[in-house]
Amino acid sequence: MKSIIPLKGLVVSCQALEDEPLHGSSYMVAMAKAAHMGGAVGIRSNGAQDIRAIKQALDLPVIGLNKKLVQGYDVYITPTVEDAVEVHRAGADIVAMDGTGRARPDGRTLEETIRELHAQGILVMADISTLEEGVYAASLGADYISTTLSGYTPYSRQEPGPDLPLITQLKQRVSVPVAAEGRIGSPQEAAAAIDAGADFVVVGGAITRPQCITASFVNEIKSSR
């Protein structure tokens, strides 16, 4: 089993879906380089092609995932063991995956999934939405716990900003590194997540999705009239 990679500070999520203007590995490599120049300690990347390109261009840890919609299933962040292995082979140092107890397309339980990935020497980040899910994933051996899905499952806390209470509670209950991710829209919110106990913070849209950043300015201007 590989040793845990210590991450402290800011990890920048460099992702663009097919319908977004910056979709394409060359754009994501440029974005990752810019993040590195700004002081990011790691990159979170989606899809084997982008992961491979970023790893070839930068000497930074990469948290890799594979977003895949499968009809009939709510799990879409690296939904199967095969997806996780593909991400790992592309060069991801850590593989992020859905860490909830929801049904998976390959029929494996969360416990079976983590066990199989560990058997192949793959470090696992469990993306969870509640304290109970985080504690359970850690008990199964997940190497990192991330609050990525808080607010994105119907049963989790619905808040406009980062789930700071969840971060604090996780740090009190698990011994593995805790990542704060999800709805972190400003440097101040990122700092608040660290103050709440996060070992590192993952920020995506507020840095790497210009259409969303533009929309936030436009909406604020409209609301002020």
Nearest to 126 by CA among 112, 140, 105: 140
**Are 62 and 51 within 8 A, CB to CB?**
yes
Cα separation, 222 vs 138, whole angstroms: 44
The DSSP call for residue 60 is S
Within the chain, residue ranges assigned H as helices are 25-38, 48-57, 81-89, 110-119, 131-139, 164-173, 187-195, 205-208, 210-223
Residues of the chain with pLDDT under 70: 1
Task: Name the DSSP letter for residue 108.
Answer: -
The pLDDT value recorded for residue 1 is 64
The answer to whether 59 and 23 have CB atoms below 8 angstroms apart is no
Domains of the chain: 9-223 (3.20.20.70)
Q: Report pLDDT digits (tens) over 139-177.
A: 999 999 999 999 999 999 998 999 999 999 999 999 999
Alpha-carbon span 46 to 23, nearest angstrom: 11
Judged by DSSP in three states, 181 sits in: strand
d(CA 143, CA 131): 16
Residue 183 CA to residue 185 CA, distance in Å, equals 6
pLDDT value at residue 151: 97
Report the distance separating Cα 1 and Cα 123, nearest Å.
8
The mean pLDDT of the chain is: 97
Cβ-Cβ contacts under 8 Å for 102 (sequence gap 6 or more): 73, 74, 75
